[in-house]
């Protein structure tokens, strides 16, 4: 009975905010929305040389399920109290505005994708992604309560992660090589 009440409350709040789409992140290709899956985080790997050490976020599979064919992809973010940790990380506290979003180009390996998150030596360390592999994303609120998310620069063909950079959570997509 309690579950039914929660579902009714969620449905009513979606109607109140004018959202017709289920909570999630979608690729918008000429008006056709394709849902992105949360990136399948598989853990952290490290490489350790005598002088230098690096840590990588790793994601399962050599490619994401959603592949787009444009250098400047558009996304639709529908925030809600449901949808799992990746969605909550992007939507931010109180669901007023998405947290700062970045798009990280992932290094492609034969069976996984990865992004270096920390580098260090015995003298110190830095955390964060290589600025050459990141692009910021802007989020503009739509009349229906969802967010239009777009990149601030063209992206090269490859695999990407939309994240806040705080946790290894986000949504992945790829850009196909144009022929």
| Digit-coded pLDDT (tens) for 10-48 | 443 444 444 467 888 999 988 889 999 888 877 776 677
Report the alpha-carbon angle 22-23-24, nearest 5: 110
pTM of the model: 0.78
Low-confidence ranges of the chain (pLDDT < 70): 1-20, 45-46, 49-50, 81-83, 92-97, 179
3-state secondary structure 41-77: EEEEEEEECCCEEEEEEEEECCCCCCEECCCCCEEEE
């Amino acid at each position: 009975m309690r579950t039914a009440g929660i579902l009714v409350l969620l449905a009513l709040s979606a109607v109140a905010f004018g959202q017709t789409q289920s909570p999630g992140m979608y690729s918008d290709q000429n008006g056709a929305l394709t849902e992105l899956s949360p990136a399948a985080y598989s853990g952290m790997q490290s490489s350790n040389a005598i002088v230098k050490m690096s840590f990588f976020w790793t994601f399962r599979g050599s490619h994401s399920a959603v592949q787009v064919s444009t250098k400047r992809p558009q996304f639709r973010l529908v925030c809600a109290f449901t949808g799992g940790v990746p969605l909550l990380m992007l939507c931010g506290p109180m669901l007023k505005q998405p947290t700062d979003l970045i798009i990280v180009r992932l290094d492609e390996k034969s069976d996984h994708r990865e992004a270096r998150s920390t580098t260090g030596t015995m003298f110190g360390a830095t955390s964060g992604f290589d600025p050459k592999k990141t692009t910021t994303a802007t989020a503009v609120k739509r009349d229906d309560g969802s967010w239009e998310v777009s990149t601030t620069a063209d992206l090269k063909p490859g695999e990407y992660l939309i994240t806040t950079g705080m946790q290894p959570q986000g949504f992945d997509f790829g850009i196909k090589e144009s022929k």
